[in-house]
Structure 1
């Protein structure tokens, strides 16, 4: 009888290395590891060899960077998604892509289950499992950190390190890191460890080594740099006149933003599972793209379409953060977003300077801005009669006057 097959989301770190061996031992199963290349750079080096030595029967390492940029980052940025006014959702948006590919591999390999190393306190467990529920409800999901036997075996990192040594698993960890990180094409996040104290200041000079994608804004160039982004239907298609695909756009903007210390965020956020969590993020390219896109919309998007879309930003961001990327309501919102972007076309000029993104001009062949109408000087087009505002104000004031009259009568 063939062994059960389990597809494991594998990073090669201490947790997933131990989980790989534990799954194989506990379930007497074939473990197929999957690692998504979504922009981690050198973190992927040596993973295939390590997974096989740790007990994997087969290893997938798939380059999903282009799909990540094109089908996940860009649609999310069209929506203007921003969680709790600060977070550009770098980790959140990567999880549904990883889970989607895990499901595809599980079906291709005839696996009956997928597994992940997300803890029972975090958001990622929800994101992985809601994606699996939406795309492949027949698959079992194994979450070792929610397994009582697993937690009893590994109450801390010391026990995990001992287990790794016993099973010949090479891991770099010898003690708890001062923080944990998660990197991809859109951002890098830092959390836990020393960052669990919200009074700890990661921007202090002695902590500069923590950051990876951006220079300290205080040490950024003293000369500002101007850049231009071209948009077509809400998507950036060129940087400084050079046409690029979404992946190349993100890589170029990360380079430019990192050089000038762009995109650092330090926040305490509300996790879906109910607790507050402190996170520090670097999103250099994403911050530039977010700002440029908004400026392009300001010139080209109809007022009420913009206000309607804006009223849904918090909901859209919440859906992404909570793991509902493949839910019908997110897909419905995306259809509205796509329609809203059909005229978001033109060029935005920005100035990058010591952590700041400063608008320096915007133009479009489909601009809704008419200087003849907006001018404070004489209106040559006669499109706007200032006298018309009298009736406009009178009608909008009517309900306020009525309410005020009722209130005054009640006081007598």
Structure 2
């Protein structure tokens, strides 16, 4: 999410949510997390929320602001979090080249996965990682222990339900005895076709095991009989791409995915007469230049498909990049790679201190005179 996406737009998701909030609150098919997202996004930075009055101690310039909702699905509350997260992660990643992998699932599973999000999303993370780990351990390919930062997304650019995991993987790994850094051979980490087949086999086996144990809630009309044959009849494709020559470039790439929500405000073109027009990605150019118009209710319903279960972690770390291995294995990898580790200047700082360093601006400095300091006074909820 770029900085321009965080600025006020002519039409925003919150405007559309507010127009349909009353009707959506009566919808019993929505879960508590979806109702909370509707309420939070609708009221974000409005008089419905408590706010504060900032007054300059030099020129008496006054500025009133309402509080953000801080909901992780709000497209106005993620820019600062993403910026600080990316900067902190630079100090966690190993220096060097990285690969970007995307693990997707066939759409015939969409209804089953959506009904069992907590279990199935975790299964997607687990089997994507185990498949990559198994192939990387093979001496014919990498022959080493890999690592990964993985991010879950559940949407396409048209807001259609499309669960998939983006994975950022170092172009190398730690040998089994921990005494050597093994670089990826040629221009690939592992063969994509082999990875796709292993991922399909492992995910299907784990999913069918959950079905047999009765652990999954089966949607009405969903056919489990013959499901294995149906899934194996499809080619599962794992997308792979090298992201750049440095960890910083790789992070810039991944940063586009981490705290992004289903749609940013700068993609919404118009909201008129009960219809929403928005831009989506042209598959040929990779740019958001094509436009789609939907009934506003359909647009909102599509957005609500991507509200994650409460407490579910959409960003996960694996292998030599996992928190459990951060101390011992990371130091060993750095010694073997023989490159300097990036030290984040915002490590341990609070959000305001981090923002000041990353933006080069003092958030408390008066915008009017440029010299005074803004003193903050709380204001009560006026709703």
TM above 0.5: no
The higher relative CO (CA closer than 8 Å, separation ≥ 6) is in: 2
The structure with the greater share of residues assigned to helix is 1
Larger C-alpha radius of gyration, 1 or 2?
1
- TM-score bin, normalised by smaller chain: under 0.3
TM-score (norm 2): 0.23
